[in-house]
Amino acid sequence: MLRNKAVVYCAVDPFLSSRGKFLYGFDRFQAQLDQLQIPCVWLSSRSRTQLDEPRRRAGHTEPFIAENGCAAYLPEDYFHLKPAKTVRLGRFTCIPVAKQQPAARDALESLSEASSVSIVPLRSLRPRELAQNIGLPNQEAELVRQRDFEELFFFAGATANDHLQFQSLAQQRKLSLREHGVFWSIAVGADLRRCIREVGDLYDRSVHAHLNRFAIATSSESVDIFQACDRGVRLASSAKSIAPGPESPGRFSELPITTPNLWETMLTVIQSH
């Protein structure tokens, strides 16, 4: 860490299948970072329980940020210095940024009532119904809805206008609302940039110097992540989809995710700064 003076913040969801299998050779990239002693903080929309198995298989022992920026999770004794406000969740010291459950659950019920838009929380579904709606086996589907901060739900027969009304009211109430294909999530106070800053500050304090925050994210996920990082690479779906981003020139670059030797190129970029 001292030698490389960089910490990678990687949005890992594009590199994990719905069942947690690695895509694009990401597990090999993680192994290369470990060998070079470059910490890689995972950023994900998944919960800590969903990330348990992928982290175990990749040998990932660094902090991670879960549930769309609701919290940062620190492995046991990873940092000698601890932030002031933490909670213990599972095996991790957690830095909560969003409000813990049942805050999101209560907010969703209030929002549904105020907007007159019907919703179906995932927690209300029976295991078989949950698996059918999500398209995963029972055990994996159950992990999807086990959340420390977010509440997951479906709209029930809502029109396009209902969706807009619901989203507008959520914005007025400063609630974090995200679409995840077949279902949605809501949280009270999620902030991905703040999560990155909290973890980044701990790294800086641990070495008494600023470690460059290097972001890796796809185009759809990059805005908040890049705003909290010093440098990074945005991954486009193809060479044709590459377009200039709003970030400062020279700080961020773009590569197609299909680039031959993608991760070798990425390591070269990381180590050059």
Does residue 262 come out as left (phi exceeding 0), alpha (psi in the -120 to 50 range) or beta? alpha
Co-location of 11 and 92 in the same domain:
yes
Residue 1 domain flag: no
**Element (DSSP H or E) covering residue 62:** none
| Domain CATH for 162 | 3.30.980.20
- Residue 250: which domain range? 6-97+191-271
d(C-alpha 240, C-alpha 58), whole Å:
31
Query: Is 83 part of any domain?
Result: yes
87-96, pLDDT tens digit by residue?
999 999 999 9
Whether residues 77 and 35 share a domain: the answer is yes
What is the count of structural domains for the chain?
2
Of 152, 187, 222, which residue sits at a domain end?
187
Strands 40-43 and 151-155: unpaired
Of 260, 106, 104, 128, the C-alpha closest to 189 is 104
In a domain, residue 10? The reply is: yes
Per-residue pLDDT of the chain (273 residues; tens, 9 = 90+): 445 689 999 999 999 988 788 999 999 999 999 999 999 999 999 999 999 999 999 999 999 999 999 999 999 999 988 788 899 999 999 999 999 999 999 999 999 999 999 999 999 999 889 888 888 888 888 888 899 999 999 998 888 899 899 999 999 999 999 998 889 999 999 999 999 999 999 999 999 999 999 999 997 778 899 999 999 999 987 655 445 555 445 578 888 888 888 999 999 999 886
Q: Are residues 53 and 110 in the same domain?
A: no
Identify the CATH number of the domain in which residue 17 sits.
3.40.50.1000
In the Cβ-directed half-sphere of 29, how many Cα atoms lie within 13 Å? 22
Residues 155 and 261 both lie in one domain: no
Residues in the chain, total: 273
Q: Within this chain, do residues 71 and 204 fall inside the same structural domain, yes or no? A: yes
Q: State residue 109's pLDDT score.
A: 97
Q: Are residues 11 and 80 in the same domain?
A: yes
The whole-number pLDDT of residue 115 equals 93
Q: Which of 141, 159, 187 is the last residue of a domain?
A: 187
